[in-house]
Amino acid sequence: MKFKDGLMRKKNIGYLCGIIGITQFVFLTIIAMVIYPGGYSFWNNYFSHLGTFTSLINGESSIGSYIIWIITCSITSICLIPFWLTLRNNFLKSMIEHKISKIGTILGIASLPFLALIALFPIEFKNMTPSSPFYNLFFIFEILHLLSMYVFFILFATAIIMYSIDFFINKDYNPILGIYGVIVAIIIIIEIVFPVQLGATFQKVTVYSSISFVVVCSLYFPIRTMNLNVN
């Protein structure tokens, strides 16, 4: 059985959606960075800087990057719903792991609207002064943006922890995946506690680590199934 055929099987469609969601996120955010007016610095600018109407670099309109940022976060949120629903189906061996996976899926899906809200609420407040029009409104938007970010990371990290526990419980699966999930969750927690101190570079590490968990799981289970069928 070819890998792409295994991935296209009905029970693996959720994993395919996960891979599509993450792939487009990486691709579209790179485009948004490239077209960002004034030159987006991968190491010094946050992902959230893509979500502004005007560039934080030179003050020019950055509406193109903002629209792409909203689109990619929204698509990612939608694509990860079937991923979380599919992932839980691999943990049915015992009642305890089934319950843990159910909690993990609920938390994972619950995190997704907040990912979309992170992009929806612009951080335009950083470009404004108290005399700027709608200053108070954009101040509220910034608070909602930060709140959405924290809630997303907390829920997403907790979902990963739930599934990491399941990887340890179920002896049919490689425990390295559980260890990897714990490491990713720790990285997210560190980002939550020290977002300003660690800067934009560590935020990139956090985001890419988070989405890598989706990719790893989306590849591991179809490949494992394919190998079992071959043997």
Split the chain (231 residues) into runs of 10 and give each run's mean pLDDT: 51 91 98 95 93 88 95 98 95 93 98 96 71 77 93 98 96 95 97 90 96 96 79 55
Tell me how far apart the alpha carbons of residues 110 and 24 are, in angstroms, rounded to a whole number: 21
**136 CB contacts (<8 Å, ≥6 apart)?**
none
For the stretch 79-122, pLDDT in tens is 999 999 999 999 988 999 999 999 999 999 999 999 999 999 98
For the chain, domain boundaries: 12-223
Q: What pLDDT is attached to residue 12?
A: 84
Q: What pLDDT is attached to residue 1?
A: 47
Q: Cα torsion at 71, 43, 143, 110 (round to 10°)?
A: 50
Which has the closest alpha carbon to 166: 95, 114, 73, 63? 95
Q: What pLDDT is attached to residue 138?
A: 78
Q: What pLDDT is attached to residue 6?
A: 46
